[in-house]
Amino acid sequence: MADNKSYLLHFEDRVPCSSQQPLKYYTDFAGTYNQDCEKLGTSGPAKTASIVADNISENLRANVRVLDVGAGTGLVAVELRNRGFKHIDALDQSEAILSIAKASDLYENYIVDYITESPSATPSGINLLLNIPLNMNN
């Protein structure tokens, strides 16, 4: 248990302290993101995919087009694909972190952009937009 606690403190030390730092933070964090999330026992991707799958019938999932906002390395895409979703696009501000997902061929499109009132590269035909936390307590 002590190891987990010290790891959590290390992880929290890496959290950006201002809204001006997230791109650098996630770019620096890209190489260890999946391992760090695994050590923390993140539940958001699996729980979100389960909720989505529970609300979209199995025979429709292959035709639903999903935009994963803040896609990161593709943890949500893995879970959605395991549940029959095939058309998933990634949007993230960090090209470095998206390159991890791209290496696993998890998404159809990889969009490096910020979500604003007028996003510049959002694909058309999106049926479902997801933005999920890493951890969900319930």
Handedness of CA 77, 35, 46, 68 (dihedral sign): negative
Mean of all residue pLDDT scores within the chain: 76
CATH topology of domain 2-130: Rossmann fold (3.40.50)
Q: How far apart are CA 28 and CA 14, in angstroms?
A: 10
Q: Determine the residue type at 106.
A: L
Question: Residue 13: what pLDDT?
Answer: 46
Q: In the structure, what pLDDT confidence band is assigned to residue 6 with cuts at 50, 70 and 90?
A: very low
Question: Residue 119: what pLDDT?
Answer: 60
Q: Which two tokens stand for residue 77?
A: 């895409």
Three-state SS annotation for the chain? CHHHHHHHHHHHHCCCCCCCCHHHHHHHHHHHHHHHHHHHCCCHHHHHHHHHHHHCCCCCHHHCEEEEECCCCCHHHHHHHHCCCCEEEEEECCHHHHHHHHHCCCCCEEEECCCCCCCCCCCCCCCEEECCCCCCCC
pTM for this entry? 0.73
The end-to-end CA distance of the chain, in Å, is 22
